[in-house]
Structure 1
Amino acid sequence: MGILAHVDAGKTSLTERLLYAAGVIDHVGRVDDGSTRTDSMDLERRRGITIRSAVVSFELGDLTVNLIDTPGHSDFIAEVERALSVLDGAVLVISAVEGVQVQTRLLMRTLTRLRIPTLLFVNKIDRMGARYDELLADIARLLTPSAVPMGAVTDLGTRQAKYQLLPLENKALKELLAEGNDQFLAKYLDDEIEPEDCRRELVEQVRRLRVHPVYFGSAMTGEGVPEVIDGIREWLPRATGNNDEPLRAQVFKVERGPAGERIASARVFAGRLQVRQPVAVHHGATQDAGRGASTYEVKPTSVQVFDRGGTRTADTAEAGRIVALRGLKQVQIGDQLGVPTGQGGQLFAPPTLETVVRAQDRVKLFQALQQLAEQDPLIRVRKDARGQISVNLYGEVQKEVIASLLEEEYGLAVSFSETTPIHVERPIGTGTAVREIGESGNQWCAAVGFRIRPAPVGTGIDYRLEVELGGLPRAFHTAIEETTRLTLQQQGLQGWEVVDCRVDLIRTDYVSPVTVAADFRRLVPLVLTQALQEAGTRVYEPVNSFDLELPPDSVASVIAKLAEANATLENTEVAPEWATLKGRIPVGRIHAFEAQLPGLTHGEGVLLTTFDGYQPITG
């Protein structure tokens, strides 16, 4: 299961409480002191935030829980995405003081879309300003109308705050369950509901996402935590994988060990994973279009199973387990092992910002960033024609994390340029270019020709052959395709990645035994760029759809500022107490608008943005 929350809602503190209750640790660590079990990076301990997902396994009675503590800051949403792909259930933590925040809404929306059964835990009931009735109303309005409180709080907002469970057959719960099941409704109307009927129906409806139980408590004092543990045991579904089925597993995290070797964390959904036994690795099965997919075989040299707060070396990992694997040299996050499920893909938007990174040793910097990109496939590294190195980002906090990692792990001091939106280019016509052997401007013993034309939006790079596959050694075909993809990724006519294009290879030739793969790797960029120039490209900027809630008296001034930000308004609803604006806004204008929003809305405006594709840039 996963524990998810907006930053600072207390999910790492809740994780500590669960570990303490399971007997894994003998005292509860504090985030502020940097003494928590799952925040292992120095920067995590210094900043008091979670950056990398951490796995810990423990026993709650007869239930084995593999817990994944995920980051809460929106800059690390990609890290959350990987954890979600392997979950059976989740606990979403909400602060009783700050309430439902923007990131909380994004996470709940994603959990619902992925059909992950979820319990809600309202933390910090012992803090001044903690709310109960008002917060439940916000949860129903902003997160899910099917939330139901499982207990009540006394002495709210004081150190003496206590949480008491309500009887299972309470009126609010029975009415909510009756809405989702006609048979239960008939029993309810006839007043024939027993506690066991409620229990059985609640289990079923939580697993079908018809109901979300809400618990209150304090991870700091431990109040309410035993009740949440009982809720996890009773309501969240248990893993159903079978050891006798073919192996199905998915990699959700890649890190490097002390010797620089790759360590892949994977969830085993079904079957058995055995050390030194061949395993099929499906790369790109869940990646975005146009990046290419491949399958290869590998033998894990070490299998470690997460168990009882640590890891243990095992010959075999069974269904339902989380494992750390060594010996998978090419493995990447998202790769599937055994039989591919075909599920996955990107759940959250790709990063839409980038920054130029500078260091004294540019070669070492590029190598280090490429190693970080192996651990995080959404850190894309780009080197332009002038040798400038850029990385993709979700936000400003990521800069600090990347700088810290480069300094701690590679001894590199770096600086960053101002963050800018990532644009893309798309072809607007058809272009063809061919270079023959011996032709002026071709100094290599190779010939190649391309045709480039637009492809449907979202296609990526549709690479096709119009030449005989056997007319060229396989290694040369590989060199041509790899260089084609790399060239389009790094150098469009305006310097941006070229997407949504069809590339046909229309001519190849070579001279045996003189020609080598490097001849094609050097020639392809020149011919491809020539074809692209003939086709022409248009530059597109990233845009987000937005959902903005604000007080009615702020609507006029906010609409004026949205117009200044080149936003388009698609829907406006104004009620006596609250107003909602919906539309689209260029990513490059969001940061400035967000900075003005609190002043325009008396601090009450809530902006939720979601990546919504690209639009042609003007000017």
Structure 2
Amino acid sequence: MHTTLPTPTDKVGSTKGDAENQLLTSQRACSTEPDHQREGRASCAERSGPPQRHHSSEQRTRSSLRTLNLGILAHVDAGKTSLTERLLYVAGVIDEVGSVDAGSTQTDSLALERQRGITIRSAVVAFTVGDTAVNLIDTPGHPDFIAEVERVLNVLDGAVLVVSAVEGVQAQTRVLMRTLRRLRIPTLVFVNKLDRAGADLDAVLEQLATRLTPRIVPLGAAERQGTKDAAFRPFTADDDGFGARLVDVLADGDDALLADFVDDPAGLSHRRLLRSLALQSRRADVHPVFAGSAITGAGVDELTAGIVRLLPSTPEPDGDAAGPPAGTVFKVERGPAGEKIAYVRMVTGTLRTRDRLAAGKVTALSVFDGGGARPRAEVTAGWIAKVWGLTGVRIGDSLGEPTGGGAEHHFAPPTLETVVVPRRARDRGALHEALAQLAEQDPLIDLRQDDLRQEVSVSLYGEVQKEVVQATLAAEYGIDVDFRKSTTICVERVTGSGEAVELIKQDGNPFLAGVGLRVEPAAEREGVTFELAIELGSLPPAFLRAIDETVRETLREGLHGWDVPDCRVTLTRSQYWPRQSHAHATFDKSMSSTAGDFRLLTPLVLMTALRRAGTRVHEPIHRFELELPADCLGQVLPALARLRGVPGTPAPTASGYLLAGDLPAAHAHELQQQLPALTRGEGVLETRFDRYAPVAGPPPDRPRTDHDPLHRDEYLLRVVRRV
């Protein structure tokens, strides 16, 4: 007897067809025999059911396939890319499994990715399972490239979180799972590398339950783990305790099931439990766990079937296909000729070649099919498309009607900043253009141009990302660069309320504009809000827009040069001279206010108000967890104190102590470097961004890149050439 589960459902969880079709439809022989013992992949696929070769694009349209946009996420080196290769192989898309070490995988297409053996940019491939077309997005696992993962989260229907059976739950695993659960993204867990020495599925399951979430449901057991013949044996109704474990987890999220169990514990059928499992999995209430090896293929058939049966898919649209197109841009890249290519998840409607959008005219489209992208004249809701011609598009943009998912940040912002210095002075102009193109692909790089010092700085997550930027500039743009020492990125928070006013021809105001502004604190993550306390219509819209835009730009550098991310700015006064001209002559700027007057005056007024309100510099703080041997505690605590760490009470463990606390982000890398010597190489450190906290002592200043409106005479000398 084999485990069964219902067929795929849409996003609201309604079942399609017979609710008692098989879940793990692959036969046990196919899952337990390693590849080298099988008679052939085709025969196994025939016996297993779901894994089969893809259809052509035309066949897909005729059969109205459902679509599933699936993310593969993991800590670095857990085997995401290898699993992607194996899924494509099982589905019949590729004839040979590529190797990360050999640089022959489908998704690691950048030369730098092949050289380093890590994923740097997210990549999309596609395969078909039964009546479901899966767009699979392979994401980076290294924490320095978490921005790539962040953008992908906005377009996912479901996810597979890969965990190593040897290393277990790691730092990035916890960050990813916490975010997936917060966003309610249905997630399966695949414990990879059962064939590796030291693999321990039971230990990993315990870590999953204690460190990630107790709402996991293991769907099988490991056999011969730690050997090349390792296999995944799916549980069946005959396995002792499987039904009881299902009830324990599922009853919390299914009141009807709990009531039936209380009335008649022996009356719950196995099929009833599996129906509840499928429903709760699609709602992201529980997380089924599979295991196996991406290298040998063990357990991948079961995972493939589980992806289709346990994750929500989107049916092919009917009447809505003729509506206005709307979608989310989650990736931008440059083609061979330098053309901009946008990756778009379509949400509603149909996007066609030659459609005109705010970002430009669509000149070409392609959808992912059979492992690659194929040209198509149109793309409908649910699909991921590559779109050419949108010259004005940026990552996070919504095409058509706003989709609401583009601008939200799920992970911590970059906390490091470094100045990029070209080795050849003549490359300065080319360097800025190259970095601007890299910022299109990764907006969190956040270029900061200092025209006064002729320098460009970038925001980064870590030293590995710095090395990748350096290698990319050399390989793709022919620009050799060096980096100055990384510094921590702080922010400024408004501490009080302040106002300032400057009117035309008063107090040395050289501009034909009058502006009054009030600055007040705002809640964290509220952002900068611009409000009006003047009468509507008293100022032309072009002037209002100029003030609003200048306020936001000016607040990128507060009193100490750091970004002011959260505050409320209110326009309290305004004054302008209407458009005038001499008799029988053209418009005279000296007699009429322009938007430029407001753009030049606003920084002076705003910074005066901000000085009166006051700001305080806050630095990023990381939360750390450190596992260390018991006899090393006496060495670690003084080291933490030197690095301004604030540890909590040590918690005893079987092998020593678990120490948790707070640590300034500026010292997190330093602690990581000192740890091997402090703990004889046995310490395990996990850090993550937690919050911003006020800086103790004198606040650090960052050099300004603007015309410095804090110093009036210097500012006026630069912008109007007079004081």
User: What is the TM-score of this pair, normalised by structure 2?
Assistant: 0.77
Q: CA deviation at 1:248?
A: 4.4
- Paired with 2:223 and 2:493, the residues of 1 have a C-alpha distance of 60
Question: What's 1:285 paired with?
Answer: none
User: What is the CA deviation profile of residues 118-174 of structure 1, one whole-angstrom value per residue up to 9, with x for unaligned ones?
Assistant: 222222222222223222222222223233333333332222323332325534432
- Corresponding position of 2:275: 200
SS in 1 for 2:346: strand
Out of 375, 391, 398, which is 2:465 matched to?
398
Distance 1:330 1:196, change over 3 A: same
Q: Are 1:541 and 2:619 counterparts?
A: yes
RMSD value over aligned CA atoms?
A: 2.8
Instruction: Give the Cα separation in 2 of the matches to 1:393 and 1:47.
Output: 19
Specify which of 684, 688, 704 is matched with residue 605 of structure 1: 684
Moved more, 397-406 or 381-390: 381-390
The amino acid of 1:266's aligned partner reads: V
Is 1:219 the counterpart of 2:282? The answer is no
3-state SS in 1 of match to 2:443: coil
Q: Name the SS of the counterpart of 1:498 in structure 2.
A: coil
Q: 2:421 aligns with which of 333, 352, 358?
A: 358
How many equivalent pairs are there?
Answer: 602
CA distance in 2, matches of 1:462, 1:145: 40
Shift of 1:588: 0.9
The equivalent residue for 2:392 is: 330
Matching of residue 84 in structure 1 with residue 153 in structure 2: yes
**What letter matches 1:529 in structure 2?**
M
| Of 164-173 and 115-124, the range deviating more from structure 2 | 164-173
- Larger mean Cα displacement after TM superposition, 398-407 or 471-480: 471-480
Task: Specify whether residues 589 and 253 from structure 1 end up closer, same or farther in structure 2 by C-alpha distance, changes over 3 A only.
Answer: same
- Residues in 2 aligned to 1:468 and 1:262: alpha-carbon distance in whole angstroms: 43
Looking at structure 2, the residues matched to 155 and 6 of structure 1 have their Cα atoms a distance apart, in angstroms, of 25
Q: Secondary structure at the match of 1:497?
A: coil
| Residue 693 of structure 2: aligned partner | 614
Judged with a 3 Å threshold, the aligned counterparts in structure 2 of structure 1 residues 358 and 342 are, in CA distance, closer, same or farther, namely same
* Equivalent in the alignment of 1:288: none
Is the 8 Å Cα contact of residues 541 and 617 (structure 1) preserved in structure 2? no
Within-5 A mapping of 1:17-416: 17-168=86-237, 170-179=239-248, 180-181=250-251, 183-184=256-257, 186=260, 190-239=265-314, 242-245=317-320, 247-277=325-355, 299-343=361-405, 345-359=408-422, 360=425, 361-384=427-450, 385-416=452-483
**Partner of 2:11 in structure 1?**
none
Code of the residue aligned with 2:429 in structure 1: it is: V
* Comparing 440-449 and 98-107, the one that deviates more: 440-449
Residue pair 1:467, 1:508 contacting (<8 A) in 2 also: no
In structure 1, how many angstroms separate the alpha carbons of the residues matched to 2:138 and 2:625?
28
- Contact residue 148 and residue 173 of structure 1 kept, 8 A: no
The aligned residue for residue 568 of structure 1 is: 646
- Which amino acid in the other structure matches residue 384 of structure 2? I
> What is the distance in 2 between the residues matched to 1:117 and 1:550?
35
**Distance in structure 1 (CA, Å) of the matches to 2:611 and 2:125:** 53
Q: Is 1:539–1:617's contact at 8 Å kept on the other side of the alignment? A: no
Work out the percentage of aligned pairs sharing the same amino acid.
51
Is the Cα contact below 8 Å between 1:598 and 1:605 reproduced in 2?
no
Q: Which amino acid aligns with 2:306?
A: G
Report if aligned partners of 2:191, 2:201 keep a CA contact under 8 Å in 1: no
Match of 1:524 among 598, 602, 610: 602
Tell me, in whole angstroms, the C-alpha distance in 2 between the residues paired with 1:368 and 1:616. 35
- Higher mean displacement: 253-262 or 297-306: 297-306
Q: Give the letter for the 2:439 counterpart.
A: A
Out of 484, 491, 495, the residue aligned to residue 417 of structure 1 is 484
Higher strand proportion: 1
> Could you say which residue in structure 1 is the equivalent of 2:34?
none
Between the aligned partners of 1:540 and 1:312, the Cα distance in structure 2 is: 49
Change (3 A) 1:576 1:94: closer
Q: Which residue of 2 aligns with 1:458?
A: 525
Range that drifts further, 370-379 or 76-85: 370-379
In structure 2, relative to structure 1, the CA distance for the partners of 1:241 and 1:598 (3 Å cut) is farther
Distance apart, 1:221 and its partner CA: 2.1
Per-residue CA shift, 1:430-471, capped at 9, x if unaligned?
Answer: 444444555676555544443334333333322233445645
Measure, in 2, the Cα distance between the counterparts of 1:525 and 1:393. Answer: 28
How far apart, in 1, do the equivalents of 2:690 and 2:597 lie? 40
* 2-structure distance, mates of 1:618, 1:241: 60
Contact 2:434 2:473 in 1 (8 A): yes
Q: Which moved more, 1:328-337 or 1:446-455?
A: 446-455
User: What is the CA–CA distance in structure 1 between the aligned matches of 2:217 and 2:656, rounded to whole Å?
Assistant: 24
- Equivalent-residue separation in structure 1 for 2:469 and 2:595 (angstroms): 35
C-alpha separation between the residues in 1 aligned to 2:632 and 2:577?
69
Secondary structure of 1:347's aligned partner: coil
> Could you say what secondary structure the match of 2:125 adopts?
strand
Structure 2, unaligned stretches of length 5 or more? 1-69, 580-586, 699-723
Contact 1:381 1:392 in 2 (8 A): yes
* Contact in 1 for aligned 2:217/2:246 (Cα 8 Å): no
- Following superposition, the deviation at residue 5 of structure 1 comes to 0.9
Q: Which residue does 2:663 correspond to in 1? A: 585
Query: How do residues 427-442 of structure 1 correspond to structure 2 at under 5 angstroms?
Result: 427-437=494-504
Residues 419, 297 of structure 1: alpha-carbon distance in 2 compared, 3 angstrom cutoff: closer
Contact 2:417 2:486 in 1 (8 A): yes
- By how many angstroms is 1:210 displaced? 4.0
User: Residues 552 and 576 of structure 1 are in contact (CA less than 8 Å); yes or no, is this contact kept in structure 2?
Assistant: no
Aligned to 2:562: 496
Q: How far apart are the structure 1 equivalents of 2:171 and 2:448?
A: 31
In the other structure, the counterpart of 2:45 is none
Going from structure 1 to structure 2, the CA distance change for 1:154 and 1:575 (only over 3 Å counts) comes to closer
Kindly state the Cα deviation for residue 29 of structure 1 after the two structures are TM-superposed: 1.2
Distance in 2, matches of 1:99 and 1:576, equals 17
Following TM superposition, by how much is the alpha carbon of 1:64 offset from its aligned partner in structure 2, in angstroms?
A: 0.7
Deviation at 1:599, TM superposition (A): 4.2
- Partner secondary structure for residue 398 of structure 1: helix
Contact 2:236–2:242 (CA<8 Å) still a contact in 1?
A: no
Q: In 2, Cα distance between the equivalents of 1:363 and 1:444? A: 33
Aligned-partner SS, 2:529: strand
Opposite residue 463 of structure 1, the aligned amino acid is F
Q: Distance in 1 between matches of 2:331 and 2:447?
A: 19
SS at match of 2:555: helix
What SS does structure 2 have at the residue aligned with 1:378?
Answer: helix
**Residue 270 of structure 1, CA deviation:** 3.3
How far residue 424 of structure 1 moved from its aligned partner, in angstroms, is 1.4
- With over 3 angstroms needed to count, the CA separation of the structure-2 counterparts of 1:205 and 1:220, relative to structure 1, is same
Q: Deviations over 1:80-123 (max 9, x none)?
A: 11112211111111122222211111111111112122222222
Q: Which amino acid aligns with 1:115?
A: R
